[in-house]
Amino acid sequence: MKKTLFIFFLLIACTNQNNESKEIGNLSILEYPDIKELNRWIELDSQYANVFQVRRYFENFVKDEFFEEEENKRRFNNITWLDMSEYQKKYTELLNKYEKNYKEYKQLTSFVDSLIIIEYPIINEFTNEIFKLGYN
């Protein structure tokens, strides 16, 4: 009986952890998680600290209402913190993979940019929109 209860509780714990990991980062990049939620994400995957820094950095290039504008919400609301985290990880992976093929960093990043646009076109569109604005 004790063994059965142990297995039961183990399964519940695994199920809860699996459900929790599915919720991590599933907030639109147009919004901020509350600090408690963000800290929980960072505890599970430190990449979210980098996503947070990038999200704050984006604010330097857009007018104050950019993230609240209905047109931008319609276009970019489906980009999540998780998507940005995966994008950043993939970008770093590609940089590391191809760095030996390029002497200049600018050539390397141009090449990686051309690859990543294929896999993450909506994030590319989002960042292009941000950087072309240059409001602040």
Q: Name the residue ranges covered by the structural domains of the chain.
A: 2-133
pLDDT in tens, 3-44: 433 333 334 444 444 445 558 999 999 999 999 999 999 999
Whole-prediction pTM: 0.78
CB 55, CB 127: distance < 8 Å = no
Q: Do residues 123 and 85 make contact, with C-beta atoms less than 8 angstroms apart?
A: no
Residue 136 pLDDT > 50, yes or no? no
Query: For residues 34 and 8, what is the distance between their CA atoms, to the nearest angstrom?
Result: 33
